[in-house]
Amino acid sequence: MSGIELRATLEVVLAGGFCGALGFWVLGERLAYAGESLSHGLLPGLVLAALAGVPLLLGAAGGALAAAALIALAARDPRVGPDAGTAVAVTGLVGLGTLLALAPESPQRLAELLFGDPLGVSDGDLIAAAVLLAAGGAVLAALRRPLTVTAFDPAGASALGLKPGVVRLTLLALMAAAIAVTVQGLGALLVLAALVAPPVAVRGHVRGPGAAMAAGAAVAAAAGVAGIQLSAQAGTAAGASVALVLCAAAALGAALRR
Amino acid sequence: MTGPALEAERLTVGYGGRPVLGGVSFAVDPGRTVCVLGPNGGGKTTLFRALVGELEPLEGSVRVTARPAYVAQTERTRLDFPVSALDVALMGALAHGRWWLPPRRADRAAARAALDRVGLAEAAGTPFGELSGGQRQRALLARALVQDSPVLLLDEPMAGVDPASAQQIDAIFAELRGEGRTLLVSSHDVEGARGFDLVLCLNGRQVAFGPPHQALDRAAIEATYGRELIMLDETGAARAVRMSHHEHHEHHEP
């Protein structure tokens, strides 16, 4: 394995591993559509960061915040409805990002922002992925019991003295952080595969949230390794290869479910 | 303990600013048992949600001396979520704090003891979604037992429950009463309500509150259930028979 491949593998294993664990709760709280919206809607932030030459992580984080605010605003309009409002806001943001990226004076980096470029990760990206896994993993471990009660029985969670609203908000923040970091490797269009495919792959094969998180992380990491290898052997795009292996794992897991 | 265990004063609650239940004022002394009667949509669940602090009152106030243990209707739980009966019972330990740490050995012992008490010791490892309706209700009751609160709120614990489970649940209610705990139990069983210390009748508002012989007069039952009931007067005591044949499959409040 070359140095570049090794770094790419490290990136998708670290960031993907966290996404794979977090994904169990994303599906548990039915946030897959919210995650997709957020990951696509942050594109203008990524493009602006690329144009300005600042770290993409900053652009992704700023783009995610702006997208979340715009989606919340659009989804709240009762004349439009939450589904349509979100769809219009996200499509508008993707259009804006594309427009900025394809402007004559901007560098041609749209493809790697949309589809990711794990082979081009910087030291900063690797550090961000390691911090995400360590800090995010610690938060998930600490929140395991409140998250379980909140997803299983929100009414019971309030009665037990927990705050389901705060628990869900923390989950949303973790999801935004995971997307902002992982988008470096998988791009705005493919990053959701790391969040949603692993929990789909393990659902019905594990007992309990702890096991589901561990198995999801393992599936994501294995798919990351396999995807980078596939890309190196077959000469395919690295980000797309990882995303396809993730989705194949989800399809296999679903097919094998009893 | 001094003062009432549970109290509502001129309480109005609802969803999105729209009142669903209003004019509720009652006080329950510690150790008393209360049956909450009312039609579906009458505000029983809404009252419980206000008492556990899940809903803020639109007007008035509620007061509970201790954090109550709450057994919600099993329909409000996620059956596809991967938790076992033991996991559900263990959730009760979260009321004692330390939510960021794994359960202690003592918590596990308490959860197993509670499952044993509700007759689910054998099913401890069974996924919640694979339990029968009565077993699910008992698992949630075990969670309330682990919480060990002096006040228990149970929302239609007998709905969709097999006779054997109902008998076990009744026996545990008797034990909890013997331990001096305050019980608020919602139900559709007007006759069964006569076995409680107090009855609270709701139908969008408070229709009646008091000992069964006072609260369950003909006017109150008619105001609570309207035409859902046939009244059979027998030696002055109002008796009621529900006409609804689909008690366990009706729509519940949000």
Query: A120-177: per-residue pLDDT in tens?
Result: 888 999 999 999 999 999 999 999 999 999 999 888 888 898 988 899 899 999 999 9
Q: What is residue B252's predicted lDDT score, i.e. its pLDDT?
A: 45
Whether A223 shows a pLDDT value over 90: the answer reads yes
Task: Yes or no: say if A10 and A65 are a contact pair by the CB < 8 Å rule.
Answer: no
Distances (CA, A) of A60 to A119, B95, B158: 18, 38, 51
**Test mutation, A145, A150, A170, A207, chain B, max B CBs within 10 A:** A145
Question: In chain B, what are the domains?
Answer: 1-68+149-216 (3.40.50.300), 78-148 (no CATH)
Q: What is residue A3's predicted lDDT score, i.e. its pLDDT?
A: 87
Distance CA B156, CA B137 (A): 10
Distance CA B111, CA B87 (A): 8
**Looking at the partner chain, which of B69, B77, B99 has a beta carbon nearest the beta carbon of A153?**
B77
Q: Which residues of A touch B70 (CB under 8 A)?
A: 155-156, 158-159
Structural tokens at position B181: 């705990």
Distances (CA, A) of A34 to A31, A37, A123, A144, B165: 5, 5, 30, 21, 41
A138 touches chain B (CB under 8 A): no
pTM of the model: 0.85
Report which residue type is found at B67: R
Whichever domain contains A153, its CATH number is 1.10.3470.10
Question: How many CB pairs lie under 8 A apart between chains A and B?
Answer: 80
Residue contact B87–A28, C-beta within 8 A: no
Residue contact B92–A142, C-beta within 8 A: no
Q: What is residue A62's predicted lDDT score, i.e. its pLDDT?
A: 93
Task: Yes or no: say if B37 and B196 are a contact pair by the CB < 8 Å rule.
Answer: no
What whole-number percentage of chain B has pLDDT above 70? Answer: 89
pLDDT in tens, A29-53: 888 998 999 999 999 999 999 888 8
Q: What is residue A1's predicted lDDT score, i.e. its pLDDT?
A: 75
Q: What is residue B228's predicted lDDT score, i.e. its pLDDT?
A: 59
The structural domain count of chain A equals 1
Distance CA B11, CA B7 (A): 10
Convert A224-251 to b/e letters by CB count within 10 Å (16 or more is b): bbbbbebbbeeeebbbbbbbbbbbebbe
Q: What is residue A93's predicted lDDT score, i.e. its pLDDT?
A: 94
A203: Cβ contacts below 8 Å, ≥ 6 apart: A27, A212, A253, A254, A257
Distance CA B64, CA B53 (A): 10
Domain that holds residue A76: 3-256
Among the listed residues A141, A162, A137, the one whose alpha carbon sits nearest the alpha carbon of residue A150: A162
